[in-house]
Amino acid sequence: MKKVVIGMSGGVDSSVAAYLLQKEGYNVIGLFMRNWDSSINNDIQGNPDLKNDICPQEQDYNDALKVCEKLNIPLYRVDFIKEYWDYVFQYFLNELKKGRTPNPDVMCNKYIKFDLFKKEAKKLGADYIATGHYARIEDNKLLKGIDLNKDQTYFLALTSKQQLENVLFPVGNLNKQEVRTIASQLNLETALKKDSTGICFIGERNFKGFLKNYFPQKEGKIIDIETNQEIGLHSGLMYYTIGQRRGLNIGGNEDRLFVVGKDIENNVLFVAQGEDNKYLYSDLALITNINWLSDHKPINCHAKFRYRQQDIPVQLQYLDNGNIFVKYIKGKAVTPGQICVFYDGNECLGGGIIDEVYLNNQKINYL
């Protein structure tokens, strides 16, 4: 009997995934990861859970334990608190310092879930590892989950082909409602538990308050890029991303204001009026840190620049240094630091990090 070590998060997806594996005849072992400690990591400001009797990570462990007890599978736990800080959170902070918009969930998959976790699973004798991701692997190809609204291949695009070897995604062929229904029929503890949101393994936070734990607050000017007039003050450039309209706290404008650029050196935030203002648009992006999951490297394919964004047609220009220029028609709020993921139909081909953005061959100085 093949042994599968599944990452039990304390959520409904991994709970049902464990049951499905068991139903298929695997010897299933649960492994719970604890990657964040609020006291060790000075997670005080912006933390809504400080007054709770139990921290969310321990509640998640307790929920995972109850599910494993019901399914009669063992549950182990492992702490990657230091490694998560070193490989994921420091990256997150460093990118924010540069004025970019990082995606820590992608790095968590790359360095924690499909690296350290996999190594720990092998110590338990795993033939395979499994997670509750909405994705599929068929014929060594990473495919979108059946439930396109929950598809998580975007977050898996920077994992390597080797990391995805001997990996199972049991809920990838189901939609979310089917997963909930199975959990309810089994009367699992997690059946009605809401999906986790916020930063991977950290959870929901007041973003500005949370970052105050790690950055000194540094006010600066907000300037209307069209008029070059100062119209307000920002509380710190790292709190804002390109395309953002909420949280600017500026009234008296006929149209909504959107963040369209940052001047890190002079600590200035640039905004422009209107959802379709020209400063939000680009037609070319330089993508670095490329990771290919497929041997198929097309000239024409589709891509998405943010999770939940619609796939858009793109043309790829391969550079000698391994980077790629991605050409597209009028892309909105394509943001340095975010992940660009390439698709051929349902197949995720890989991706990289958005480094620079251009319009009409002119670099847009978002930063």
246-255 confidence digits (pLDDT tens) = 877 776 565 7
Query: Given this model, what pLDDT does residue 351 score?
Result: 98
CATH superfamily of 216-273: Adenine nucleotide alpha hydrolases-like domains (2.30.30.280)
Active site residue 200: yes
d(CA 115, CA 99): 28
Spot the catalytic one: 55, 200, 301, 340: 200
d(CA 287, CA 145): 25
254-274 burial, b if ≥16 CB within 10 A, otherwise e? Answer: eeebbbbbbbeeeebbbbbbe
Select from 2.102.10.10, 3.40.30.10, 3.40.50.620, 2.40.50.100 the CATH code of 3-207: 3.40.50.620
Greatest pairwise CA separation for the chain in angstroms: 70
Q: Taking the alpha carbons of 211, 212, 216, 222 in that order, is the dihedral positive or negative? A: positive
Give mean pLDDT in consecutive 10-residue pieces for the chain, a chain of 367 residues: 96 97 97 90 78 78 96 97 96 94 95 97 97 97 97 98 98 97 96 80 79 89 93 91 83 77 93 91 97 96 94 97 96 95 98 96 79
Spot the catalytic one: 55, 108, 340, 348: 108
Query: Given this model, what pLDDT does residue 107 score?
Result: 96
Query: Given this model, what pLDDT does residue 321 score?
Result: 96
Query: Given this model, what pLDDT does residue 54 score?
Result: 76
Query: Given this model, what pLDDT does residue 253 score?
Result: 61
* DSSP code of residue 324: E
**CATH fold of 278-363, please?**
Elongation Factor Tu (Ef-tu); domain 3 (2.40.30)
| Domains of the chain by residue range | 3-207, 216-273, 278-363
Active site residue 108: yes
Which of 174, 159, 120, 103 has its CA nearest to residue 8? 120
Query: Given this model, what pLDDT does residue 254 score?
Result: 59
Query: Given this model, what pLDDT does residue 208 score?
Result: 83
Query: Given this model, what pLDDT does residue 322 score?
Result: 94
